[in-house]
Amino acid sequence: MTTKETKLPVVNESGFYEIRMESIGGLGANLAGKILGEAGVLNMGFNGSNFSSYGSEKKGSPVKAFVRFCDPNVEVRVNSPVIEPHILAIFHENLSKSVPVTQGVGPDSIVILNTSKNPDEARDFLKLHAGTLYCIDALKIAIEEKTRINTAILGTISKASGFLSPDAIKDMIAKNLGKKYASLIEPNLKTFDRGCNEAVSKKFAPDGKYPYVPFTREGQKIGYFNQPIGGVIPVAGSSVSKDLSGSREGWIPVLNRSKCTSCGECDITCPDYCFVWENGVDKKGKPARILKSIIYQYCKGCLRCVDICKFEALTKHKEFEVDRTIIEKGYTE
Ligand code: SF4
Ligand code: SF4
């Protein structure tokens, strides 16, 4: 399909309309960038490019996806990261705790945040200098539609941009899913529409509440000249501070201790050592190791533990419906 000729609403000095997606591996930003890039170039007639940057780990590590559009008569000769985005899409709000996601965002930028917060709360959470902030609860939509958050975010990008045709993007979503995943097309198109319709926005002027965060390129602290011999990890215990909660796609296991036999199957199955054990007594009163709780900081929501538990002591729940005290304690009785 090709939509009617569309003009870019604004471009930078190089002639580009630029989009940056800040995400965590597993949330689908890479594919979202590809779909958006193809929709703009193949279906809307722009010139453009898209590429992603991510580390060696697949799930849980920061991912950035970049999309550039320009008029057909402009040549694409820029392959660097997007520094001052016209649209910034943040796929997981907790990313802002570890990554300076709002770098380069000014009063004319559009920021899209996957959150259940309202725009005022979200601005304070992000410490956003200025710009138009769109809040969309993409995780809730994805759970309800049994899809992923990326198509909901694409819906909000389409709405917020004012020029990226929903039909052009939906056509490309369907093409990317193709015959192989034909059953997912309809729910993903519904997710896209909800991303369009359910986003709420507010424009924030640069009122001095939070400073502008300029783009800075962080150099590698360790490289060819100064890396420890033998690949030694100089930060002992770094796995303790690791946080995989951003990898979850809306589901968590909940431990019901009254049903648990402390058989240990879940502990063997869990890839991230989330289970905590303590000394206690078994049902016959003999000293034994007893399963105490789950540390959700390390849980990426793969739910393998739920599948393996024969006693229904671990059950699958929508994270946003689980009481915070259960998540803090790591179990229920
Ligand atoms: S597999 Fe189930 S019963 Fe066994 S220790 Fe884990 S939660 Fe308890
Ligand atoms: S869902 Fe279960 S198996 Fe998967 S990381 Fe979390 S605790 Fe471990």
Q: For ligand 2, pick from 272, 306, 327 the residue to mutate: most ligand atoms within 8 Å of CB.
A: 272
- Reading the block at residue 172, the tokens are 């490309």
Q: Whose CA is nearest to atom 6 of ligand 1?
A: 266
pLDDT at 268: 96
Q: pLDDT over 70 for what percent of the chain?
A: 96
Structural domains of the chain ordered from first start: 17-204 (3.40.920.10), 241-329 (3.30.70.3270)
Mean pLDDT on 158-164: 97
Distance 87 CA to ligand 2 centre (A): 34
Q: For ligand 1, pick from 254, 265, 282 the residue to mutate: most ligand atoms within 8 Å of CB.
A: 265
Instruction: Give the Cβ contact number of residue 149 at 10 Å.
Output: 27
**For residue 3, what are the contacts with CB-CB under 8 A and spacing of at least 6?**
43, 44, 45, 165, 167, 168
User: How much is the pTM?
Assistant: 0.81
More confident residue, 276 or 95: 276
Q: Using one digit for the tens of pLDDT, what is the confidence trace for 54-106? A: 766 556 678 899 999 999 999 999 989 999 999 999 998 878 877 889 999 99
More confident residue, 283 or 42: 42
Distance 266 CA to ligand 1 centre (A): 6
60 Cβ below 6 A of ligand 2: no
300 Cβ below 6 A of ligand 2: yes
Q: What is the DSSP letter of 219?
A: P
**The pLDDT of residue 156 is above 90:** yes
Q: Whose CA is nearest to atom 3 of ligand 2?
A: 270
Distance 266 CA to ligand 2 centre (A): 8
Nearest C-alpha neighbor of 108 from the set 136, 129, 78: 129
Distance 304 CA to ligand 2 centre (A): 6
- What type of residue sits at position 135? C
Q: Using one digit for the tens of pLDDT, what is the confidence trace for 254-275? A: 999 999 999 999 999 999 899 9
